Structure 1
Amino acid sequence: MAKINFGGTEESVVTREEFPLEQAREVLKNETIAVLGYGVQGPGQALNLRDNGFNVIVGQRKDSKTWEKAVNDGWVPGETLFELEEACERGTILQFLLSDAGQIAAWPMVKNALKPGKTLYFSHGFGVTFKERTGIVPPTDVDVILVAPKGSGTSLRRMFLEGKGLNSSFAIFQDASGKAREKVVALGIGVGSGYLFETDFKKEVFSDLTGERGTLMGALAGILEAQYNLLRKKGHSPSESFNETVEELTESLILLVAENGMDWMYANCSTTAQRGALDWKDKFRDAVAPVFEELYESVATGNEAQRSIDTNSQPDYREKLDAELKELRDSEMWQAGAQVRKLRPQNN
């Protein structure tokens, strides 16, 4: 593992150079990787593994829309696409990529298929970390590992097709075979990771739940709404408000941050913008710090996990979700966004 200095803290990471794809194929040459679930992470990971030359099959409920999606993606029923139960039996590595609620429901079936020597793979530490709430307790005679791409399955696939890689964390919960480490790294390389950094199941789920509710999604959406609403209240047009709140961020500034960091983005903006950003940065940090403390505590106590389990397992969850997303989509800010996207030159 390579030693990298991250802001004064040294970490060990695995890169494609030190663990090339050919080595990953050699490690997994006798394995049948069964990707269980073809929803969020399943397509990206399964397609990347297939394109990288691994022996992959997909398990999915036959009466679902995602079964048809799998067929359209080239998975062949009876050859590389099976019902969940049969995929579990055929696979030696079971990539358990159903939703957290779906994992709870399917666990008895998956557990029954986990014969000694098999490997159970997660991309989220939720089920195992909150085992008292989920009932997911793996048998002791199987390897239990995790590779968690730091982004959506869609992004994982898109970056793979562009010749790039999405960074991933990896963890080993249980090493029954003595070979769990080489297997988890090989799978991380196989699914298209840029580089791999080590964590554990608990830290993965705590950071993931905090990030999703925080800067990655929840906090981001909230702060965008707050600024847009303020500008509108002060008499600015929807177009001006959206462009100054969202469009400039997503189409320009965040790309500069991604290229070389926040300081580089500041250095490449106007002097007026630089001064204002530096003056107000700490005010926003200090204002939201208590909210992040509250959020992390809610994650650590299991409250966020329980709310997810309670709501996501309801039979009308999808209908309620659609209603919430429709409310978001129909808001003035995101309706303005839809019009702005249509006006981008590449869409004309």
Structure 2
Amino acid sequence: MATINFGGVEEKVVTREEFSLEKAREVMKDETIAVIGYGVQGPGQSLNLKDNGFNVIVGQRKASKTWDKAIADGWVPGETLFEIEEALDRATVIQYLLSDAGQIAVWPTVQKYLKPGKALYFSHGFGITYKERTNIVPPKDVDVILVAPKGSGTSLRRMFLEGRGLNSSYAIFQDATGKAFDRVVALGIGVGSGYLFETTFKREVYSDLTGERGTLMGCIQGIFAAQYDTLRENGHTPSEAFNETVEELTQSLMPLVAENGMDWMYANTSTTAQRGALDWWKPFRDATKPVFEKLYKEVAAGNEAQRSIDSNSQDDYRVKLDAELKELRESEMWRAGTAVRKLRPENN
């Protein structure tokens, strides 16, 4: 394990140089990894593990869309694809990758198969951190570990196939066997992490819920909408408003930030853009900081978790979700986006 200085703060990280894929395979050579859930993270993690030479099976309900998707991805019923209970029984490591609401629903089944020495693996700290609300309390004689890729399962798989890695956090909640560290790092390397940084289940879920509601998804959509609407109200066309709000950011500027940081992106824009950005970023910070503070308090109090549990456990959850996503998709801004994307050179 290496110690890296991040802006004056030292953090423990694990890289693929010090914990190689070969070492990871050696650690896991006698283990059977059962991936339970084939929705957001399941496909990417399971396929990466399989391609990296790990012994992986998938547990999923028969006669479901995700069962059919698993077959389409190459998992073979009776060989590498099983009903959930059979996969749980065969596993020494249970990768519990159902949605948070799904984990609550299936937990009584999973509990029955948590024999001493097994490992229970999460990619989100939700179920354990909010155990008073989820009732997910593992027995004391199993390892409880976490690897949380910092992106979607789709991105994890795509970057793996491109020969790159998506950074992940890792945590150990319970080390019953004395080998939880080797297990969690080996699995982190196996699923395709670029590097692994240390966290706790609580810190992971607090930062994750804040990020999803903040700059990663909720805040960015809100800011997009505010700027787009302002431009439209002042006579700009949908194409112009969308290009100046979304297209230039995602296609031109964010890749520069990813490459070398915000200052480097600023340095590679016009002097007029630089001046405006440097003058205006602090007013935007000051305007939004109270919202982020309120958001974090809601996360820490468990209110955001309870809202998610209550909403996602309803029988008509999918219907309501589809309606909300349709409203977003059919807004003028994102209809303009559909048109703009079709005009990109690679689509013509």
Q: TM-score w.r.t. structure 1 length? A: 1.00
Residue 143 of structure 2 corresponds to which residue in structure 1?
143
Aligned equivalents of 1:300 and 1:336: distance in 2?
Answer: 37
C-alpha distance after superposition, 1:303-329 (max 9, x if no partner): 000000000000100000000000000
C-alpha distance after superposition, 1:17-51 (max 9, x if no partner): 00000000000000000000000000000000000
Residue correspondence of structure 1 range 235-314 to structure 2 within 5 A: 235-314=235-314
C-alpha distance after superposition, 1:173-224 (max 9, x if no partner): 0000000001000000000000000000000000000000000000000000
After TM superposition, the runs of 4+ consecutive aligned structure 1 residues lying more than 4 A away are: none
Q: 1:3 is aligned with what amino acid?
A: T
Aligned equivalents of 1:288 and 1:100: distance in 2?
Answer: 28
Residue 47 of structure 1 corresponds to which residue in structure 2?
47
Residue 192 of structure 1 corresponds to which residue in structure 2?
192
Residue 82 of structure 2 corresponds to which residue in structure 1?
82
Aligned equivalents of 1:155 and 1:60: distance in 2?
Answer: 22
Q: 1:151 is aligned with what amino acid?
A: G
Matched position secondary structure for 1:105 = helix
Aligned length: 348
C-alpha distance after superposition, 1:122-180 (max 9, x if no partner): 00000000000000000000000000000000000000000000000000000000000
Residue correspondence of structure 1 range 218-233 to structure 2 within 5 A: 218-233=218-233
Aligned equivalents of 1:259 and 1:233: distance in 2?
Answer: 35
Aligned equivalents of 1:7 and 1:202: distance in 2?
Answer: 23
Aligned equivalents of 2:111 and 2:19: distance in 1?
Answer: 31
Q: 1:285 is aligned with what amino acid?
A: R
- Segments of 5+ residues of structure 2 without an aligned counterpart are none
Q: 2:315 is aligned with what amino acid?
A: P
Aligned equivalents of 1:109 and 1:322: distance in 2?
Answer: 29
C-alpha distance after superposition, 1:265-301 (max 9, x if no partner): 0000000000000000000000000000000000000
Residue 102 of structure 1 corresponds to which residue in structure 2?
102
Q: CA deviation at 1:63?
A: 2.1
Aligned equivalents of 2:331 and 2:80: distance in 1?
Answer: 43
Q: TM-score w.r.t. structure 2 length? A: 1.00
Residue 67 of structure 1 corresponds to which residue in structure 2?
67
Aligned equivalents of 2:187 and 2:6: distance in 1?
Answer: 25
Residue 216 of structure 2 corresponds to which residue in structure 1?
216
Matched position secondary structure for 1:181 = helix
Q: 1:222 is aligned with what amino acid?
A: G
Q: CA deviation at 1:12?
A: 1.3
Aligned equivalents of 2:344 and 2:98: distance in 1?
Answer: 36
Q: 2:313 is aligned with what amino acid?
A: S
> Is 1:173 equivalent to 2:205 in the alignment?
no
Aligned equivalents of 1:326 and 1:2: distance in 2?
Answer: 46
> Is 1:127 equivalent to 2:127 in the alignment?
yes
Residue 23 of structure 2 corresponds to which residue in structure 1?
23
Aligned equivalents of 1:55 and 1:271: distance in 2?
Answer: 55
Q: CA deviation at 1:10?
A: 1.3
Identical aligned pairs, as a percentage?
79
Q: 1:34 is aligned with what amino acid?
A: A
Aligned equivalents of 1:133 and 1:5: distance in 2?
Answer: 37
Matched position secondary structure for 1:113 = coil
Q: 1:206 is aligned with what amino acid?
A: Y
Matched position secondary structure for 2:112 = helix
Q: CA deviation at 1:11?
A: 1.1
Aligned equivalents of 2:302 and 2:223: distance in 1?
Answer: 25
Aligned equivalents of 1:139 and 1:311: distance in 2?
Answer: 28
Aligned equivalents of 2:152 and 2:264: distance in 1?
Answer: 26
CA RMSD in angstroms comes to 0.4
> Is 1:116 equivalent to 2:122 in the alignment?
no
Aligned equivalents of 1:9 and 1:201: distance in 2?
Answer: 20
Residue 234 of structure 1 corresponds to which residue in structure 2?
234
Aligned equivalents of 2:3 and 2:137: distance in 1?
Answer: 34
Residue 33 of structure 2 corresponds to which residue in structure 1?
33
Q: CA deviation at 1:2?
A: 1.2
Q: CA deviation at 1:8?
A: 1.1
